[in-house]
């Protein structure tokens, strides 16, 4: 929020005082529901990730924003709304989106004798099977792992992106559990090819080993994770990473600032050639608890921050949170080359991905429960403890048993 | 209690006497009762009320907000089909058998060694062994995760470098996760148990061990045939605490393994917490808590009966 958007708001609304509190996600998803349940103690305005939004909307206790958001319904990315709606009413205002792209290390691709420009790389990894071949080439030529994906503690983020890009998820439009459907099983089997071929690094996302492999190598004399923690020279870089647009900001900002100029952004692979080469991962929204005494001011701030292209562009510039507000996409900022990505105009790649995100059924009111069971299933498949069909059938049955969904 | 009018005056007098004297007793000791009243107030609200409310919740479906739906025994029936819950119970037993005997034995041996006046700087070693107990388990858990990383962790690098052992998947496999968790628990709780053992040892007169030595026992025999039998009540105390501890494990699991891999290290406490505050299934979580309470109650009773009868 170091964008000046808040200061501009304060200048416009001098009688509104803002107390901005940053909270760790795990704290947030325990404290906010408790405050909603207790009927007191919630903030006037809260930021909720899309993955948890539907669950909190279903819990109740949020202010109905149906009339307020109407002007913005058509201006936001369509994929943002489904988790904000319950029984035809809107309970959240979308903030950023997570259009998924393909991040790759130009230096590793060059060392493997592969093309390094974004368009050629996009063609090279047109499907997940093509990607598997590319991984094999990289392993043979350079010995570098293709990407990091943990087996025994996998929690399903990549699998969810692969489902989302096919318009699938953990349930379908009618509310039926699809965890054990043929397409879901086939998707997990596709991922299994990578594990079986031993082409991946077994680091868990968001842990030190994972950071180190993203920050390894580079042009600086000593590679560092963030500002100063040196990466041991024995750590070899991973060649690629399928992740949402916010990852670019994280790489640049605090995970691997020393690898500037080495990264590129291409399109994520599709399951079948011709399918959408985009998905959504993460993203966030603002909600106003119904118990708030300052709903008008809270909405004024929400609208100021998320509904005004100026604010969204300013926030995007400062933090790289990709706006869901499509009217911003014509701003010149989206045509600026980024030195971290070897002067590629990455934001155009994000827009291209954002515009084709299919409607997915990954999140929803029972996401945390479904993700838990499916993660266990993925762990079993990745470590060879069960087949994809068996593991997902067991997960689906547990989900049906727990939620009563058909 | 007020006594209703009875047919005969005789019974009335006798039955009205105890409540009358109880009230008198309360009035007489009113200041004492006033001073202990805050405990009962908090106990009523946070102890009794929440326990009873949770019992009621176990027959309902509730997200924590909105209407409470009564569903009878449905939660309890689904529980018996809940593989994760059953696994969490099994894990509780497994972990108990994996770390408790080793930890208690180590604690006892260390206590005996450090109880001896012949060890130089025993206070220093006592402090060193006790420090992990007072250290923040969250910080320790993170440190363990770094140490035990399969590819880059210090532990595997040492094992590979010195003994040429292939990297062990400490946190990346079912049994690796359990062993890692036990290592963390033993590291964190050894000092605590050692202090309990030390306290127990100080109640044993040294003449008994000395007499055994004079009769020709070596120190090891004296330890097994004199110290351990005399320490039985203290050991029982530690074992009962550790039994509840291994089912109640939360921080250690939450930080080190998150219950993985494949629920191999999930404990009932972690599972209940996830269902209640991750999935907002408060009714179901309450049912889990009650089943869990009953099992633990029976186990503890059994343990106290079995070991307790042999104490004297």
Per-residue pLDDT tens digits for A357-390: 998 899 888 998 999 999 999 999 999 999 999 9
Are B188 and B259 contacting, i.e. CB atoms less than 8 angstroms apart? no
Q: How many CB pairs under 8 A join A and B?
A: 86
Q: Single out the residue of A120, A221, A177 nearest to residue A398, CA to CA.
A: A177
- Looking only at the bridges linking them, the beta strands covering B69-70 and A89-90 are unpaired
Alpha-carbon distance values, B150 to A208, A355, B165 (Å): 12, 40, 12
Q: Which of B150, B174, B278 sits opposite A202 (nearest CB)?
A: B150
**H or E, element range at A225:** strand A224-225
- From CA B216, how far away is CA A289, in angstroms rounded? 78
Q: Which of B65, B66, B172 sits opposite A152 (nearest CB)?
A: B172
List, for chain B, all residue ranges whose pLDDT scores fall below the cut of 70: 1-20, 307-312
Exposure b/e, A360-370, CB count within 10 A at least 16 = b: bbbbbbbbbbb
B149 at the A interface (CB within 8 A)?
A: yes
Per-residue pLDDT of chain A (406 residues; tens, 9 = 90+): 556 778 888 888 888 888 888 888 878 888 898 888 888 888 999 999 999 999 899 888 899 999 999 999 999 998 888 889 988 999 999 999 999 999 999 999 999 999 999 999 999 999 999 999 999 999 999 999 999 999 999 999 999 999 999 999 999 988 899 999 999 999 999 999 999 999 999 888 888 888 889 988 865 555 666 656 778 777 889 999 999 999 998 898 888 888 889 999 999 999 998 889 999 998 899 999 999 988 899 999 999 889 989 889 988 888 888 999 999 999 999 999 999 999 999 999 999 999 999 988 998 889 989 999 999 999 999 999 999 999 999 999 999 988 888 8
Please identify among residues 273-302 of chain B the ones whose CB lies closer than 8 Å to any CB of chain A.
274, 277-281, 284
pLDDT for the residue A124: 94
- What is the model's pTM? 0.85
Alpha-carbon distance values, B102 to A61, B106, B143, B225 (Å): 50, 6, 23, 19
Q: Which of B66, B82, B169 sits opposite A60 (nearest CB)?
A: B66
3-class secondary-structure state, position A237: coil
Are A213 and A237 contacting, i.e. CB atoms less than 8 angstroms apart? yes
pLDDT for the residue A218: 62
Are A23 and A255 contacting, i.e. CB atoms less than 8 angstroms apart? no
Q: Single out the residue of B145, B259, B279 nearest to residue A379, CA to CA.
A: B259
- Looking only at the bridges linking them, the beta strands covering A263-266 and A100-105 are antiparallel
B259, closest residue in chain A (CA to CA):
A153
- From CA B192, how far away is CA B128, in angstroms rounded? 12
Angle of helix A182-196 versus helix A388-403 axis, rounded to 10: 130
Are B172 and A153 contacting, i.e. CB atoms less than 8 angstroms apart? yes
pLDDT for the residue B309: 56
- From CA B102, how far away is CA B105, in angstroms rounded? 5
Q: Do B261 and A207 touch (CB under 8 A)?
A: no
Query: pLDDT tens across A236-268, in order?
Result: 899 999 999 999 988 988 888 888 899 999 999
- From CA A146, how far away is CA A237, in angstroms rounded? 9
Q: Do A59 and B65 touch (CB under 8 A)?
A: yes
pLDDT for the residue A2: 55
Query: pLDDT tens across B223-245, in order?
Result: 888 888 888 888 988 888 888 88
DSSP string covering B177-235: HHHHHHHHHHHHHHHHHHHHHHHHHTTS-HHHHHHHHHTT--HHHHIIIIIHHHHHHHH
A140: number of Cβ within 10 Å: 10
B83 at the A interface (CB within 8 A)?
A: yes
- From CA A184, how far away is CA A168, in angstroms rounded? 8
Alpha-carbon distance values, A330 to A283, A310, A325, A335 (Å): 21, 12, 11, 9
CA distance A30 to chain B (A): 6
A67: number of Cβ within 10 Å: 9
Are A101 and A243 contacting, i.e. CB atoms less than 8 angstroms apart? yes
Q: Is residue A18 reached through a cis peptide bond, with omega within 30 degrees of 0 on the bond before it? A: no
């Amino acid at each position: 929020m170091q964008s000046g958007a808040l200061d501009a708001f304060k200048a416009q609304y001098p009688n509104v005082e803002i107390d901005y509190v940053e909270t760790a996600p795990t704290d947030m998803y325990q404290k906010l529901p408790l405050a909603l349940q207790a009927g007191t103690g919630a903030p006037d305005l809260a930021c909720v990730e899309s993955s948890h939004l539907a669950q909190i909307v279903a819990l109740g206790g949020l202010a109905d924003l149906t009339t307020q958001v109407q002007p913005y319904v058509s201006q936001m990315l369509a994929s943002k709304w489904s988790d904000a709606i319950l029984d035809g009413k809107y309970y959240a205002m979308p903030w950023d989106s997570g259009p998924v792209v393909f991040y790759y290390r130009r230096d590793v691709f060059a060392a493997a004798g592969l093309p390094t420009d974004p368009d050629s790389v996009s063609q090279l990894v047109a499907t997940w099977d093509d990607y598997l071949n590319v991984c094999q080439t990289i392993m043979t030529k350079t010995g570098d792992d293709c990407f990091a994906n943990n087996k025994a503690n996998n929690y399903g983020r990549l699998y969810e992106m692969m489902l989302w890009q096919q318009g699938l998820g953990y349930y379908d439009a009618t509310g039926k559990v699809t965890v054990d459907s043929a397409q879901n099983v086939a998707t997990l089997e596709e991922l299994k090819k990578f594990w079986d071929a031993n082409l991946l690094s077994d680091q868990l996302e968001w842990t030190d080993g994972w950071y180190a492999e993203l920050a390894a190598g580079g042009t600086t004399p000593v590679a560092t994770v963030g500002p100063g923690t040196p990466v041991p020279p024995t750590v070899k870089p991973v060649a690629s990473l399928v992740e949402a647009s916010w990852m670019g900001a994280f790489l640049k900002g605090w995970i691997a600032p020393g690898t500037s100029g080495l990264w590129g952004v291409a399109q994520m692979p599709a399951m079948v050639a011709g399918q959408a080469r985009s998905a959504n991962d993460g993203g966030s929204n603002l909600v106003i608890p119904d118990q708030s005494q300052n709903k008008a001011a809270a909405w004024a701030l929400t609208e100021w921050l998320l509904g005004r292209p100026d604010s969204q562009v300013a926030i995007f510039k400062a933090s790289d949170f990709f706006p869901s507000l499509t009217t911003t996409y014509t701003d010149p900022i989206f045509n600026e080359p980024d030195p971290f990505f070897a002067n590629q105009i990455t934001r155009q790649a994000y827009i291209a991905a954002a515009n084709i995100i299919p409607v997915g059924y990954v999140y929803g009111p029972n996401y945390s429960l479904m993700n838990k069971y499916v993660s266990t299933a993925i762990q079993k498949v990745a470590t060879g403890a069960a087949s994809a069909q068996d593991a997902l059938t067991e997960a689906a049955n547990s989900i049906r048993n727990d939620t009563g969904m058909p | 209690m007020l006594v209703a009018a009875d047919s005969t005056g005789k019974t009335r007098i006798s039955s009205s006497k105890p409540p009358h004297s109880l009230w008198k007793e309360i009035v007489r000791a009113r200041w004492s009762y006033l001073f202990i009243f805050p405990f009962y107030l908090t106990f009523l609200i946070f102890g009794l009320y929440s326990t009873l409310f949770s019992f009621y919740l176990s027959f309902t479906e509730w997200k924590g907000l909105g209407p409470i739906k009564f569903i009878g025994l449905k939660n309890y029936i689904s529980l018996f089909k809940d593989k994760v819950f059953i696994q969490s119970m099994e894990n509780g037993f497994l972990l108990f058998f994996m770390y408790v005997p080793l930890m208690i034995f180590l604690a006892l041996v260390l206590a005996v060694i450090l109880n001896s006046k012949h060890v130089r700087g025993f206070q220093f070693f006592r402090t060193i062994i006790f420090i992990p107990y007072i250290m923040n388990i969250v910080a320790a858990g993170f440190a363990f995760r770094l140490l035990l990383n399969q590819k880059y962790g210090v532990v595997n690098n040492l094992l590979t470098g010195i003994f040429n052992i292939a990297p062990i998947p400490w946190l990346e496999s079912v049994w690796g996760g359990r062993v890692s968790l036990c290592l963390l628990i033993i590291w964190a709780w050894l000092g605590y148990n050692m202090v309990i053992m030390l306290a127990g040892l100080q109640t044993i007169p040294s003449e008994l061990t000395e007499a055994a030595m004079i009769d020709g026992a070596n120190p090891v025999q004296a330890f097994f045939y004199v110290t351990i039998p005399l320490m039985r009540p203290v050991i029982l105390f530690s074992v009962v605490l550790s039994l509840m501890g291994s089912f109640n494990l939360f921080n250690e699991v939450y930080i080190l393994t998150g219950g993985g891999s494949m629920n191999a290290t999930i404990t009932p406490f972690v599972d209940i917490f996830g269902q209640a505050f991750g999935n907002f299934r408060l009714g179901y979580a309450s049912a889990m808590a009650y089943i869990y309470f009953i099992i633990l109650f029976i186990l503890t009773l059994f343990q106290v009966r079995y070991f307790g009868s042999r104490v004297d």
